[in-house]
Structure 1
Amino acid sequence: MASLLNAINVKRKMLFEFEGAPYVCLDSDISTPTARGGQTLVRLKMRNLLNNAVFDKTFKAEDRFPEPDVVFVPASYLYSDADGSHFLDQESFETHTLTEAMLGDALDWLIEGTMLQIRKYNGNPIGLQLPQFVELDVKYTEPAVKGDSSSGSVTKDATLETGRVVRVPLFIKEGEKIKLTTETGEFAGRV
Structure 2
Amino acid sequence: MIEVGDLRKGMIILVDGEPYRVIDVNKHHMAMGRGIIRTKLKSVKTGLVRDQNFNSGDKVEEADLTFKPAQYLYKDGDHYYFMCLDDYEQYSLSEEELEDAKWYLVENMELNLVFLEGQVIGVQLPNVVTLKVVETEPAFKGDTVSGSGKPAILETGLRITVPFFVEAGEYVKVDTRTGEYVERA
Scaled to the shorter chain, the TM-score interval is 0.7 to 0.9
Distance 1:10 1:60, change over 3 A: closer
Question: Sequence identity of aligned pairs in percent?
Answer: 32
1:141 aligns to 2:136 (yes or no): yes
Matched letter for residue 137 of structure 1: K
Asked if the contact 1:49–1:126 (Cα under 8 Å) also holds between the matched residues in 2, the reply is: no
1:176 aligns to 2:153 (yes or no): no
Asked if the contact 1:139–1:160 (Cα under 8 Å) also holds between the matched residues in 2, the reply is: yes
Aligned-residue offset at 1:19: 2.3
Distance 1:55 1:91, change over 3 A: farther
Asked if the contact 1:29–1:43 (Cα under 8 Å) also holds between the matched residues in 2, the reply is: yes
Aligned-residue offset at 1:178: 0.6
Aligned-residue offset at 1:181: 0.6
Asked if the contact 1:78–1:112 (Cα under 8 Å) also holds between the matched residues in 2, the reply is: yes
CA distance in 2, matches of 1:9, 1:165: 32
Matched letter for residue 180 of structure 2: E
TM-score calculated relative to the size of structure 2: 0.81
Matched letter for residue 134 of structure 2: K
Distance 1:187 1:67, change over 3 A: closer
Higher alpha-carbon Rg: 1
Distance 1:9 1:184, change over 3 A: closer
Asked if the contact 1:11–1:28 (Cα under 8 Å) also holds between the matched residues in 2, the reply is: no
Give the alignment of 1:30-109 within 5 angstroms.
Answer: 43-48=37-42, 50=44, 51=47, 53=49, 55-59=51-55, 61=57, 65-82=60-77, 84-109=79-104
Asked if the contact 2:4–2:54 (Cα under 8 Å) also holds between the matched residues in 1, the reply is: no
Distance 1:53 1:113, change over 3 A: farther
Alignment partner of 1:105: what SS? Answer: helix
Matched letter for residue 17 of structure 1: L
Give the alignment of 1:148-167 within 5 angstroms.
Answer: 148-150=143-145, 152=146, 154-167=148-161
Unpaired segments of 5 or more residues in structure 1? none
RMSD: 2.8
Matched letter for residue 58 of structure 1: F
Matched letter for residue 70 of structure 2: A
Distance 1:65 1:122, change over 3 A: same
Q: In the alignment, which residue of structure 2 is the partner of 1:188? A: 182
CA distance in 1, matches of 2:86, 2:77: 26
Matched letter for residue 20 of structure 2: Y
TM-score calculated relative to the size of structure 1: 0.78
1:32-76 CA-partner distances (Å, limit 9, x unpaired):
9958xxxx66525254361383634224745x5444232122111
1:147-181 CA-partner distances (Å, limit 9, x unpaired):
2234x253111121112221100011122111001
